[in-house]
Amino acid sequence: KIMRHKDHILNTIELGVTNARIEATNNKIKLLIRKAYGFRDVDSMIDMVLLYCSDLKIPLPNRNRVKYA
């Protein structure tokens, strides 16, 4: 198996580039798909994946804490 991927292994060592970010994103998506079990349609699941992977911070109502003096 190593010989079959020899060129890719050498490229990784030579260039110092890995696919770790892609693997992490794939892992996040798989986790979200598991969480989305029971969604009525695929579009809702896709929207959730896009929202989560975009790092967009949306303030939720009733979630801001008020500090009293």
- Per residue in 8-30, pLDDT (tens digit) is 889 889 988 888 888 998 998 89
Characterise 55 by phi-psi region: left (phi > 0), alpha (psi -120 to 50), beta (else).
Answer: left
Count the neighbouring beta carbons within 10 Å of the beta carbon of residue 32: 17
The answer to the question of residue 64 being in a domain is no
The answer to the question of residue 66 being in a domain is no
Two structure tokens written together for 8: 């890719």
The enclosing H or E element of 25 equals helix 20-35
The answer to the question of residue 29 being in a domain is yes
Query: Please, are residues 36 and 44 in contact by the beta-carbon 8 Å criterion?
Result: yes
The answer to the question of residue 44 being in a domain is yes
Tell me how many domains the chain contains.
1
Two structure tokens written together for 19: 């696919």
The answer to the question of residue 61 being in a domain is no
Over residues 42-69, the pLDDT tens digits come to: 888 888 888 888 877 777 777 666 666 5
Is the pTM here over 0.75, yes or no? no
Q: Which domain holds residue 39?
A: 20-55
